[in-house]
């Protein structure tokens, strides 16, 4: 669904909702007003998460309870409500009101309790902690007993049906004694036991249920958190501190004024590598309570926030100092990658399927994981120094930057985290099928999403992602960052902003191409080259190519060389894991398989260079078997072999003329029919009938393809598609000729060659020219030449054409082989000749027809054509104004020399109109053409002097060819002939076709109407016979053109006098049209030296051709050197923008602002 469809759907939903509200308002105005007010209150509550009503979970619970009560009141007690029954049954209405309020209150409490009770997977104690707990148990201190004490006290405090507020009011002493019991357990616990209790108890629920009572000695929540976050924080492990921070976030830090200081103390008491682990584990819990939310959303005090950020920078500087000095800690740090991988989600991790507004990539269907992307994430995280055998860990450095807006709490984030969890649970090669870590997520906001939806501007999305990245860098200053994105929306622009602001922190930018690179928002190759960003950027289509770049072209390398092999293996595994229902068609799967195989092949070349094991490519399923007859883009052929890797079929092609193929097919069908009829008539016994049926079945398989030298009877003797020599005397075929003796060894063939041949070549003898092969070489064109060249054996003559003919003639063509992809092969269909149109009136492209087609033209219809164009007449056409050169009335074609551009058009009569044609002009033209004086006919000028050399033996003879005007530059050589005794003085000597053909040589004509890039003119090689025809035709045109010099009688005189005599006396001289001078209608816009941007990159204007409006542009490389020239129109270029300028944004120049 594209943007237009999405906007129309949104508009339809809004209109329907508005109409529904108006209809409801007309029926129940009071109830509708109450409902609108409640909806506005709900919207305000959800959209303002920073307001005080969200500072504590108790406040939110009270809001939902109050909202449910007000909504129920409006539905039960408002008079025009469709559910109104409170005025008739007040008691029932009050009961419903209390029931709904209590139900909403209990549901919200249960949902919040469930969220706080969720344990974080992966944050478990190590082996040393387990051994210490066993030792404590032997000493008489049981950890399980302490857990039971905490669970019993929590059960007394947290009553399922009684709210905590009411329970604290009724049983204050009982609740306080249980709360002190829990605090005493944490106070008396040993360090190992304390960490065990924190990781196994529902700490967030404990913080939430223990309250700060009104009297001084009842500040139990403050006392418990102060104990853990301040007094005993030094003995807490990193996982315990992470759980402590999470419990404070779930409890809501804003609910207690000292909570921010507790967070500050926990973070500031953690240093160097432990601090990095603390931040990474906080982001790897699989929920939206990440470090970014803690620092920038939950903490409201700017002083506390700056203290924490400064602590991050100072500890990062200490870590870098250890690495620079080469200390023991620094060497241990160098084994890790210390790199954060930031990635987009839609069209980068998974395909959007072209669904708006998620993305535009339609190569894969929606929600399909791109092959190899997960492996690339893992290798970028591992780096180049980490050992391959390191066990997988739940914590990692993967962060997703999503443009999807954040909604109330984690409503939008839950969808993505559920997707990440499913990807974690995937199984693949060697346990590498899923994500190697639980990633974090930085979401967008409603403001940028709204601006994008309304204006289709990607800049707000890019700015929001950059803001998230800026926050992220301030939290992780000790890390380098790699951004993996796509070029479908604003990610490329966001990557540029990241590099501009933090060039030292960005290691690389990997851009997944889902559209043409020139369409990328914010991309300018010249600007990126000047910034140095282009050297850090990898544009790729398939993820193994990105791994190849990261290992071999990035400086320094980002992944290991062995990582290329692992990414390729994962890509193959990911491709195989795509379900059949996730493919739209077989062609889509075939194209993506071919695309991936190309990338794997390139990676295997690099692996072979480093002497590593290569990755097998993905095989294609076979559709056509050997010997099966098929139809290809080059014609009919027979399958010879198959390459499953590249989906290439070796096909033996039948390149004979179509009429011969049709004739042979009809003869085969007739022979089949006669053979079957004869066998049916000769059925005399059951055994004979069974033998005949078996023979018929084999004929269907073996007689599909017959070469010109193969008869129907011969096909029964051989299952191969080889040529069989036919004994014309006895009509019994001898042993078949071996193919390796019939033709020379076929060279290696590729699928990129084309077949270029002339149909007339099939009528010539095979000895005239060699047969071209697919690789540009030539082989002998006859079987006799081939056998003589290879074996010295001269084969007997074979039958060509009709298989029943007894005449013997050489074969005009050999075997042609081509490697063709499976997508270009279809099921075999019998050859047939095209049907000619019965009525030439409806043939719109009659000027393309051959001479055989033109013979079908109705002569009477041509005679009825009343429109006649004279040579030299000015006419208009759909392609512009021009001058008539010739009117072929038999074909109803008008040859027009275009005036506005250098071209000659062959147009139909009904598309050509005279300039200024009208009723009066038509009458005047009829009188003018009928009364033309015969004395103005052209007389050829006589030739003076002696008999000189003439066409085709002289250079410079003008030729009017169908391809344009030219002159002879390569004449025929002079032959010794006796001079004519009577030289011609009346007209120049012109060779007739019969005379010229005797020379049997070729002349060269330079087409002066065409100009090549280097300023030269192309050459046309033709026989002197053809050139003589063109000269004769041009002479006839020039003679016809002089008839326009006759005078014109005005029809106005006939209207005034009414007699023929007055017409003869009133003679109006006709205005003779001077040769039309072609004016240059193309004005120059870009001057020489102008810096422009084209579809092929940046360039500089070097020249301009006024004749056709083309600019000559020198194209520039990234280094500024010229690598080529392009001839472009004005609409294909644009001025190059200055560095830092964006089209549509205000700028300040020396001439003022603009």
Q: pLDDT tens digit string along 41-50? A: 998 888 888 7
pLDDT at 313: 94
Q: What is the mean pLDDT of residues 76-89?
A: 87
Whether residue 707 is predicted with pLDDT greater than 60 in this model: the reply is no
Q: What is the Cα–Cα distance from 549 to 557, expressed in whole angstroms? A: 9
pLDDT tens profile 585-636: 998 999 999 999 999 999 999 999 999 999 999 999 999 999 999 999 888 9
Whether residue 844 is predicted with pLDDT greater than 80 in this model: the reply is no
Q: pLDDT band at residue 951, thresholds of 50, 70 and 90?
A: low
User: How confident is the prediction for the chain on average, in pLDDT?
Assistant: 75
pLDDT at 963: 78
Q: Which residue has the higher pLDDT, 220 or 337?
A: 220
pLDDT at 477: 93
Q: What is the mean pLDDT of residues 495-519?
A: 93
pLDDT over 70, % of the chain: 71
Q: pLDDT band at residue 785, thresholds of 50, 70 and 90?
A: very low
Strands 648-653, 958-961: pairing kind: unpaired
Q: What is the mean pLDDT of residues 221-225?
A: 90
pLDDT at 584: 92
pTM for this prediction: 0.63
pLDDT at 343: 94
Q: What is the mean pLDDT of residues 253-273?
A: 91
Residue 980 — left, alpha, or beta (φ > 0 → left; ψ -120 to 50 → alpha)?
A: beta
Whether residue 667 is predicted with pLDDT greater than 50 in this model: the reply is yes
Residue written as token pair 């990610």: 491
pLDDT at 757: 37
Q: pLDDT band at residue 238, thresholds of 50, 70 and 90?
A: very high
Q: What is the Cα–Cα distance from 989 to 950, expressed in whole angstroms? A: 7
pLDDT tens profile 1084-1114: 888 888 888 888 888 899 999 887 888 999 9
Q: What is the Cα–Cα distance from 73 to 93, expressed in whole angstroms? A: 8
Q: Which of 20-34, 419-433, 743-757 has the lowest mean pLDDT?
A: 743-757
pLDDT at 483: 95
CA atoms within 13 A on the CB side of 983: 11
Q: What is the mean pLDDT of residues 96-114?
A: 88
Q: Which of 2-6, 552-556, 1083-1087 has the lowest mean pLDDT?
A: 2-6
Residue by residue, DSSP assigns 145-200 as HHHHHHHHHHHHHS-SSS-HHHHHHH-HHHHHHHHHHHHHHHHH--HHHHHHHHHH
Q: Other CB atoms closer than 10 Å to residue 357's CB: what's the count?
A: 20
Q: What is the Cα–Cα distance from 1120 to 1109, expressed in whole angstroms? A: 26
pLDDT at 578: 92
Q: What is the mean pLDDT of residues 707-731?
A: 35
Q: What is the Cα–Cα distance from 547 to 219, expressed in whole angstroms? A: 57
Length of the chain: 1154
pLDDT at 708: 34
Q: pLDDT band at residue 134, thresholds of 50, 70 and 90?
A: low
Whether residue 146 is predicted with pLDDT greater than 70 in this model: the reply is yes
Nearest in space to 568 (alpha carbons), one of 432, 436, 382:
432
Whether residue 675 is predicted with pLDDT greater than 80 in this model: the reply is yes
According to the 3-state scheme, what is the secondary structure of 431-480? Answer: HCCCCCCCCEEEEECHHHHHHHHHHCCCHHHHHHHHHHHHHHHHHCCCCE
Nearest in space to 795 (alpha carbons), one of 745, 723, 715:
723
Residue written as token pair 């393809």: 705
pLDDT tens profile 988-1036: 344 444 444 444 467 888 888 777 767 788 888 888 878 887 777 655 5
Which range is most confident: 58-62, 349-353, 723-727, 1022-1026?
A: 349-353
Q: What is the mean pLDDT of residues 82-111?
A: 89
Q: pLDDT band at residue 450, thresholds of 50, 70 and 90?
A: confident
The crossing angle, in degrees rounded to 10, of helices 272-283 and 302-325 is: 120
Whether residue 853 is predicted with pLDDT greater than 80 in this model: the reply is no
Instruction: Write out the H or E segment, with its range, that includes residue 968.
Output: strand 964-970
Whether residue 706 is predicted with pLDDT greater than 50 in this model: the reply is no
pLDDT tens profile 386-439: 766 555 555 678 999 988 888 888 888 888 888 898 898 887 767 777 888 889
SS3 call for 543: helix
According to the 3-state scheme, what is the secondary structure of 722-771? Answer: CCCCCCCCCCCCCCCCCHHHHCCCCCCCCCCCCCCCCHHHHHCCCCCCCE
Q: pLDDT band at residue 447, thresholds of 50, 70 and 90?
A: confident
Q: pLDDT band at residue 950, thresholds of 50, 70 and 90?
A: low
CB–CB of 986/943 below 8 Å? yes
Residue written as token pair 């009011």: 169
Q: What is the Cα–Cα distance from 732 to 720, expressed in whole angstroms? A: 18
Whether residue 106 is predicted with pLDDT greater than 80 in this model: the reply is yes
Helices (H), 919-1023: 919-930, 993-997
440: β partners:
399
Residue 522 — left, alpha, or beta (φ > 0 → left; ψ -120 to 50 → alpha)?
A: left
pLDDT tens profile 890-931: 888 889 888 767 778 888 888 888 876 554 454 444 444 444
pLDDT at 1034: 59
Q: What is the mean pLDDT of residues 501-530?
A: 92
Whether residue 873 is predicted with pLDDT greater than 70 in this model: the reply is yes
Q: What is the Cα–Cα distance from 871 to 1043, expressed in whole angstroms? A: 9
Q: pLDDT band at residue 521, thresholds of 50, 70 and 90?
A: very high
Q: Which of 211-215, 455-459, 952-956, 986-990 has the lowest mean pLDDT?
A: 986-990
């Amino acid at each position: 669904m594209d943007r237009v469809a999405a906007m129309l759907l949104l508009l339809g939903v809004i209109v329907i909702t508005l109409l529904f509200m108006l209809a409801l308002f007309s029926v129940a105005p009071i109830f509708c007003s109450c409902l609108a007010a409640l909806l506005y209150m709900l919207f305000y509550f959800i959209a303002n998460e920073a307001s005080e009503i969200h500072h504590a979970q108790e406040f939110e619970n009270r809001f939902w309870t109050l909202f449910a009560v007000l909504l129920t009141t409006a539905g039960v007690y408002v008079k025009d409500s469709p559910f109104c029954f409170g005025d008739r049954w007040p008691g029932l209405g009050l009961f419903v009101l209390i029931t709904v309020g209590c139900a909403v209150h209990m549901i919200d409490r249960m949902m919040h309790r469930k969220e706080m009770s969720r344990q974080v997977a992966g944050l478990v104690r190590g082996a040393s902690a387990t051994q210490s707990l066993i030792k404590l148990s032997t000493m008489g201190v049981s950890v399980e007993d302490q857990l039971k004490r905490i669970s019993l006290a929590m059960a007394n405090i947290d009553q399922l049906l009684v709210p905590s507020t009411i329970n604290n009011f009724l049983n204050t002493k009982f609740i306080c004694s249980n709360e002190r019991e829990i605090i005493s357990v944490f106070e008396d616990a040993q360090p190992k036991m304390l960490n065990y209790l924190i990781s196994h108890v529902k700490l967030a629920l404990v913080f939430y249920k223990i309250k700060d009572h009104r009297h001084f000695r009842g500040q139990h929540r403050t006392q418990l958190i102060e104990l853990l976050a301040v007094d005993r924080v030094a003995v807490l492990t990193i996982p315990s501190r992470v759980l402590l921070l999470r419990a404070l976030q779930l409890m809501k830090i804003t609910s207690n004024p000292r909570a921010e200081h507790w967070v500050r103390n926990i973070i500031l008491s953690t240093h160097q590598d432990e601090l990095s682990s603390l931040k990474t584990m906080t982001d790897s819990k699989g929920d939206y309570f990440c470090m970014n939310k803690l620092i920038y959303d939950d903490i409201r005090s700017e002083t506390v926030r700056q203290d924490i950020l400064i602590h991050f920078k100072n500890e990062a500087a200490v870590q870098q100092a250890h690495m620079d000095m080469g200390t023991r800690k620094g060497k241990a740090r160098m084994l890790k990658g210390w790199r954060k991988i930031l990635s987009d989600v839609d069209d980068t991790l998974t395909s959007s399927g072209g669904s708006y507004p998620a993305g535009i990539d339609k190569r894969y269907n929606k929600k399909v994981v791109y092959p190899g992307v997960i492996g690339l994430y893992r290798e970028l995280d591992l780096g180049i120094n980490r050992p391959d055998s390191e066990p997988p860990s739940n914590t990692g450095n993967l962060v997703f930057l999503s443009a999807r807006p954040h909604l109330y709490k984690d409503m939008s984030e839950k969808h993505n985290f559920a997707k990440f969890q499913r990807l974690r649970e995937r199984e693949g090669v060697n346990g590498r099928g899923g994500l190697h870590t639980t990633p974090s997520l930085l979401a967008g906001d409603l403001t940028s999403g709204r601006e994008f939806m309304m204006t289709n501007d990607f800049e707000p999305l890019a700015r929001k992602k950059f803001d998230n990245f800026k926050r992220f860098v301030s939290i992780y200053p000790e890390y380098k960052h790699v951004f993996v994105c796509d070029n479908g929306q604003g990610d490329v622009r966001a990557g540029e902003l990241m590099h501009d602001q933090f060039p030292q922190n960005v290691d690389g930018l990997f851009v997944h191409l889902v559209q043409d690179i020139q369409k990328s928002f914010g991309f300018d190759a010249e600007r990126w080259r000047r910034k140095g960003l282009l050297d850090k950027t990898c544009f790729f289509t398939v993820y193994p190519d990105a791994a190849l770049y990261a290992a071999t072209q990035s400086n320094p390398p980002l992944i290991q060389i062995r990582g290329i092999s692992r990414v390729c293996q994962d890509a193959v595994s990911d491709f195989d894991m795509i379900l059949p229902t996730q493919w739209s068609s077989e062609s889509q799967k075939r194209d993506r398989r071919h695309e991936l195989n190309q990338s794997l092949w390139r990676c295997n070349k690099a692996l072979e260079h480093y002497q590593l094991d290569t990755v097998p490519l993905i095989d294609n399923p076979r559709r056509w078997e050997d010997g099966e007859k098929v139809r290809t883009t080059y014609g009919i052929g027979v399958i010879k072999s198959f390459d499953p890797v590249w989906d290439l079929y070796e096909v033996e092609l039948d390149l004979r003329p179509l009429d011969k193929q049709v004739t042979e097919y009809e003869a085969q069908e007739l022979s089949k029919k006669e053979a079957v009829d004869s066998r049916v008539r000769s059925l005399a016994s059951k055994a004979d009938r069974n033998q005949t049926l078996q023979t018929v079945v084999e004929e269907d398989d073996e007689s599909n393809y017959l070469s010109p030298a193969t008869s129907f009877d011969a096909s029964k003797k051989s299952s191969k598609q080889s040529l069989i020599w036919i004994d014309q005397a006895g009509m019994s075929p001898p042993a078949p000729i071996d193919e390796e003796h019939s033709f020379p060894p076929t060279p290696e063939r590729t699928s990129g060659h084309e077949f270029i041949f002339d149909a007339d070549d099939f009528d010539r003898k095979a000895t005239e020219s060699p047969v071209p092969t697919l690789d540009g070489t030539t082989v002998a064109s006859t079987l006799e030449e081939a056998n003589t060249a290879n074996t010295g054996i001269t084969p007997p003559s074979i039958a060509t054409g009709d298989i029943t003919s007894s005449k013997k003639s050489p074969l005009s063509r050999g075997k042609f082989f081509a490697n063709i992809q499976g997508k270009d092969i279809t099921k075999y269909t019998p050859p047939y000749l095209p049907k000619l149109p019965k009525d030439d009136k409806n043939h719109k492209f009659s000027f393309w027809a051959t001479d055989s087609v033109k013979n079908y033209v109705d002569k009477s219809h041509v005679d009825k054509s009343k429109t006649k164009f004279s040579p030299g007449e000015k006419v208009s056409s759909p392609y512009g104004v021009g001058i008539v050169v010739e009117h072929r009335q038999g074909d109803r074609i008008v040859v027009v020399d275009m005036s506005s551009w250098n071209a000659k058009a062959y147009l139909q009569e009904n598309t050509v109109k005279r300039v200024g044609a009208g009723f009066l002009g038509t009458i005047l033209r009829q009188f003018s053409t009928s009364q033309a004086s015969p004395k103005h006919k052209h007389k050829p000028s006589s030739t003076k002097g002696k008999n000189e050399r003439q066409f085709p033996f002289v250079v410079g003879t003008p030729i009017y060819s169908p391809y344009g005007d030219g002159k002879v530059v390569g004449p025929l050589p002079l032959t010794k002939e006796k001079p004519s005794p009577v030289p011609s003085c009346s007209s120049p000597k012109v060779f007739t076709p019969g005379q010229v053909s005797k020379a049997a040589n070729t002349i060269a004509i330079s087409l002066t109407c065409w100009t090549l890039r280097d300023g030269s003119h192309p050459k046309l090689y033709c026989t002197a016979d053809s050139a003589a025809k063109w000269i004769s035709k041009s002479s006839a045109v020039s003679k016809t053109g002089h008839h326009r010099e006759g005078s014109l009688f005005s029809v106005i005189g006939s209207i005034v006098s009414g007699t023929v005599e007055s017409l003869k006396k009133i003679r109006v001289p006709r205005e003779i049209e001077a040769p039309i001078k072609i004016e240059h209608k193309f004005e120059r816009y870009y001057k020489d030296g102008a810096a422009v941007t084209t579809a092929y990159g940046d360039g500089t204007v070097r020249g301009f051709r006024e004749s056709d409006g083309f600019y000559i542009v020198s194209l520039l490389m990234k280094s500024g050197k010229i690598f080529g020239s392009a001839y472009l129109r004005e609409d294909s270029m644009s001025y190059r923008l200055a560095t830092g300028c964006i089209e549509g944004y205000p700028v300040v120049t020396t001439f003022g602002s603009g």
